[in-house]
Amino acid sequence: MYQAIILGSILLVLLYILKRARVRDTRLNMPPIPRYKIPIIGHTYSYFFNSEEFLKQCKKEHGDIFSIYAWGQVKTIVGKEYSHEILAREETFSFKRAFVERVPYAVLLKNMGLITPATLLKDHVFYKLSSYSERMQKSLYSTAQKHFNISDQPKVFDNLYHIMTKIVSSTIANVYIGEEESKHDEIIAAFGGITSELSIFLMVPPFLNLIYPGLHNYAIRTLVKSGLFNPAAKYRDVLIKHIKKQVCKRLQEKEKYGNSWKRPDDLLQDIIERDGFNPNNINYSLLSDQIFVLLFPSIHTTAGGCANLLMDLASRPQYIQELYEEQLEVHKEADENGILPFEALNNMNKLDSCIRESLRLTGHIVTLEHMALKDYTFSNGLQIPKDRIVDIYADDVYQDESLQGPNPKSFEPFRHVDANVSASKIGKSYLPFGGGKHACPGRHFAVSEIKFFMHKFILNYNFRTESGKIEERIRIGPYAFPSSSRIIIEKRIK
């Protein structure tokens, strides 16, 4: 037993020395690394448990670009002055490479190498937003009514993110695989389950990297491959069943009705009509994976955005009446069924400002993790090596008065009303959807969903936090997630 302890201790020391050698690479003029007292642990404790103050002190002492040693590896933190270099140089910095280090799509999906998610979203969702408008609203409103189900008495709800995931999943199912399938509880549960379970990969800290860099990544891939935790395998049969049902039905109806066949307008139909689709040899696994890969970014961002905004306003009910009056005016454009034209979204100026402010104050201390694809020299002369993880220092952007205006830390819902910047418009002072050529192509879709949902919700309900206080986001290390605190919702008396 003692021999095992001694050998284990020697191994840990050797691993630590090897890692320190990597940190001290003298080939490059690398960013400064603050001193730390605990070997192997490095800055991990401060970074995880006191991220806001720790990074603020690091910047004060070391400038706009610095590195920290956390979770067994060096990562570089870049402040507002140089963050644009990361977002503008897609040939050097990859968000996708960093993301798949955390969420192992390559082993989750058999056909990942054949899928281009950004292209699917841009070509088959973004450019067709207006045509999806009516279906989005009907799905959002009917599903919200089902899950909130408020009669004459106020009701208390907690975990808004969980509820919003179900509501948004129904809308995404409608747009992605058809209105008929979006009415099946099984497919809605699958869409929501995929989103919730993939988020676990982001929430679990890479503590195994304290033993050796990359061990966490290796472990989660082993976990997925073994089937012990594989959301794709868990829900793949459900997706394939519903997709196969729709494809077979559509091919049969097209053959039967010919030119009089009414073509379904959704992402699935767009995909099966792309070049290379062979109706006599259908790869249902590929079709399933193409839908699967879009679910997390499509549902998580929108559900989280709605949950955060609801809590932000419930914490500050004094602003709801002004939003209600705006939405009353906008609702005059609705048809007899209460459906708004897509263009009505442009008249929700105050609501749009609220959404932008809520997304701005999402709570992340750092954001938009990228991986360096090659050695890079910043414009100030500091250099980082290939494969270095780089985070943008979100607090440095969002707490800067010159970028945000007075009181940048406070939630001011109408801050952006006169600024001529919509909630989906990216820029150096606003990063929830990334930036540059690879900014999220689904951001317009997400903001449209949030607007349609909030329009009807504000018209129908009053809401406030049960505590009567401002409820903050849940903080896990430097990242934030929607609050699970309780809110009280009651029908609005009209």
Residues making up the binding site for heme: 440
Which phi and psi angles does 474 have, rounded to 5°?
-80, 130
- Rounded distance, CA 426 to CA 27, Å? 36
- Neighbouring-strand partners of residue 430: 427
| Binding-site residues from annotation | 440
CA geometry: angle 292, 297, 299, nearest 5 deg:
85
Looking at residue 473, the DSSP 8-state letter turns out to be: P
Order of strands, sheet of 389-393, starting from the edge strand that comes earlier in the sequence:
65-70, 73-78, 389-393, 366-372, 93-94
Helix, strand, coil % over all residues of the chain, rounded to 5: 55, 10, 35
Within 105-153, residue ranges assigned H as helices are: 105-108, 117-124, 129-148
- Neighbouring-strand partners of residue 155: 489
- Rounded distance, CA 84 to CA 47, Å? 23
From the list 476, 453, 451, the residue with the least C-alpha distance to 160 is 453
All residues at 6 or more sequence positions from 5 whose CB lies less than 8 Å from its CB, including other chains: none
Q: Which two tokens stand for residue 488?
A: 């009280």
Torsion of Cα atoms, 481 then 62 then 77 then 26, to 10°: -150
- Neighbouring-strand partners of residue 68: 75
Burial of 60 (0-12, 13-18, 19+ CB in 10 A): exposed
- Region for 150 from its dihedrals, namely left if φ exceeds 0, alpha if ψ lies in -120 to 50, beta otherwise: beta
Looking at residue 318, the DSSP 8-state letter turns out to be: G
- Rounded distance, CA 292 to CA 300, Å? 13
